[in-house]
A and B are shown apart, each in its own frame.
Chain A
Amino acid sequence: MIAGISIYEILTLTSILFFIGVYGFFTRENLITVLMSVELILNASAVNFVLINTYLYPDLLQGAVFSIFIIALAAAETALAIAIIINLYKLIYSVEVKDTEIMKY
């Protein structure tokens, strides 16, 4: 627990972080930045777990353990996404969202 900071302030912070991620996901034009927005969302959830564990339920470690798994799996997800984007770059020499629209509707 951090002295002088209540759970409300940090929960507000993670909620803002989450929605920045969602906003970025829908508006960014580069696939790498879209991926960064997704990371923001995952990190907001990870921080949420640690924070709720520390402030509300400090006697068990469920939230902290959960956040470690989130970090590990997010890393795996990012590695795979980067590999796929690199493969796409090799094929079309671009990582822009607008160049990945040959299939629609």
Chain B
Amino acid sequence: MNLESFLLMRSEIGLLAILLLLIIFEIFSNKKQKAAVIPFAIILLAINTALGFLPQESGELFGGMFRTNALLYFFKTTLSFGVLILLLQSADWLKAKVVDENKAPEFFMLIISSLLGAYFMISAGDFLMFYIGLELTTLPVTALVAYDTYKRISAEGAVKYILSSALASGAALFGVSLLYATTGTIYFDSMAEILTSSNLSILAFVFFFSGLAFKTSLVPFHFWTADVYEGAPINVASYLSVISKGAAVLILTILLFTVFKSLMPAWNKIIYIVTIATMFIGNLFALRQQNMKRFLAYSSIAQAGFILLGLMSVDQLGITTIIYFVAIYIFSNLAAFGVVQAISSFSDKENIDDYEGLYRTNPKLSLLMMLALFSLAGIPPLAGFFGKFFLYTAAASQGYYILVFIAVVNATISLYYYLLVVRAMFLRQSDSAIPYFRSPFYMRLGLILAAIGILVIGVYSPIYDYIFSISNSFLN
């Protein structure tokens, strides 16, 4: 092993360098320079994201604990791009509310260390690295949920998040210990060869799955979602719903398709039931929400149910459609949360009723919100339609026609509540509509990037072909 092989973890080293630079900046900057941390951090992360477009070799490090390939690398770049948009969207909120309290550097450090955890989690080659990555993803975000230290709901959301996430990781660990008992190894590759279907291994899988289902907020484990999203600052809720959920979905897919492949007859049934329950409960609870953050929380639960459709097809098609849909979902949700953030930081209003008559006063924001919601709902010309269509194809290719039918019914229900928001913005009139305002530069840049993401991924088909061509990395 020579030093050059460390270049395989180039993205991780980049993030670590950003973290150290931020700490150095924090130590050596005086009071007047504190605000400069915002452009500093954004530029550093933009450089790291740009480096992600360079080609990368695949390989393993540390005796197989860390592995990387084209698929993981593509996904890491997508996540990094998502965090870049997120930081752009939160820059003005930080400038207005946080810099004076001297807490801005912490925000960037915590977000970036959580992203680093997500990288390690998806690149893990054994359960130890996976567990460390999982905790490194969760713990910094928990601190961020409690970031508004003077707000009661923020502290309450953080308590709920840390306790349920600790329970989930405890259950997952108990499952891993039982898997270790059945196979005698914690490495994914050797476990995949040894693991056979037995009562103990299925029990272990159930424990382990419940831990990851918490991270992806699937239905029996979704209770924390709405409360935490409502309590957290908007950009942290956005981070939870796109980055941490996206990374957890990817590692869940990889593990189900490789390590637990021999248990497929068992987990297929579990996923089948969980998919239906997740879609229905997410959608039905979203119908009765008034707060935009809770609304988007339940909508993100329902979207997780749709993602699970791809797991029904254990082949290249399944993994491609899941990653394609997650990429679309990241941009659509970032755009929706971005608009909520823009309106909230201007007027402190977060309810659907407050959006009445928004089109007359702020046409551009309303159009972007409509674009994002239509993409989440799956209206044809937009990216979300293709993502959902491919997921249906993946499930139908294995003969799960009833499941696809239920998913289509749920897509219709979801269309109803997405249209409620659109109706409030476009058709309703209100005397107390939010007046016209012009978002600051960073926010506009973040929203434009998210909108470009929605349009480009949907229309530019080589992206899907590229994901398809790299998606066989795990299935040999």
Binding site for B on A (CB under 8 A): 18, 21-22, 25, 31, 34-35, 38, 41-42, 44-46, 48-49, 52-53, 56-57, 60, 62-63, 65-66, 69-70, 73, 76-77, 80-81, 84-85, 87-88, 91-92, 100, 102-105
Asked whether B128 lies within 8 Å of A88 as measured between CB atoms, the reply is no
Asked whether A38 lies within 8 Å of B166 as measured between CB atoms, the reply is yes
Which A residues are in CB contact (< 8 Å) with B180?
49, 52-53, 62-63, 66
Task: Determine whether B152 belongs to the interface, using a CB cutoff of 8 Å to chain A.
Answer: yes
Given A31-B163, A42-B166, A80 and B143 contact (CB-CB distance below 8 Å): yes
Which B residues are in CB contact (< 8 Å) with A34?
163
- A80 to B114: give the CA distance in the assembly, Å: 15
Closest to A40 in B: B170
Which B residues are in CB contact (< 8 Å) with A60?
184
State the Cβ distance, A57 to closest chain B Cβ, in Å: 4
The majority secondary structure among interface residues of chain B is: helix
The majority secondary structure among interface residues of chain A is: helix
- A39 to B170: give the CA distance in the assembly, Å: 8
Q: Please give the number of chain B residues whose Cβ is less than 8 angstroms from any Cβ of chain A in the complex.
A: 42
Contact of B177 among A22, A49, A76, A100 (CB under 8 A): A49
Task: Determine whether B264 belongs to the interface, using a CB cutoff of 8 Å to chain A.
Answer: no
Contact of A102 among B132, B149, B153, B171 (CB under 8 A): B153
Asked whether B181 lies within 8 Å of A81 as measured between CB atoms, the reply is no
- A31 to B184: give the CA distance in the assembly, Å: 37
Given A31-B159, A88-B156, A45 and B167 contact (CB-CB distance below 8 Å): no
Asked whether B128 lies within 8 Å of A65 as measured between CB atoms, the reply is yes
Closest to A77 in B: B166
Can you report 9 A-B residue pairs in the complex whose CB atoms are below 8 A from each other?
A41-B167, A41-B174, A42-B169, A60-B184, A73-B131, A81-B159, A81-B166, A84-B155, A87-B158
Which A residues are in CB contact (< 8 Å) with B170?
18, 21, 38, 41-42, 44-45
Which A residues are in CB contact (< 8 Å) with B131?
66, 69-70, 73
Contact of B142 among A46, A66, A73, A84 (CB under 8 A): A84
State the Cβ distance, B227 to closest chain A Cβ, in Å: 5
Closest to A78 in B: B166
Which A residues are in CB contact (< 8 Å) with B139?
76-77, 80
State the Cβ distance, B230 to closest chain A Cβ, in Å: 5
- A45 to B139: give the CA distance in the assembly, Å: 19
1/0 per residue, CB under 8 A from A, across B137-168: the answer is 00100110010011111011111101100110
Asked whether B230 lies within 8 Å of A103 as measured between CB atoms, the reply is yes
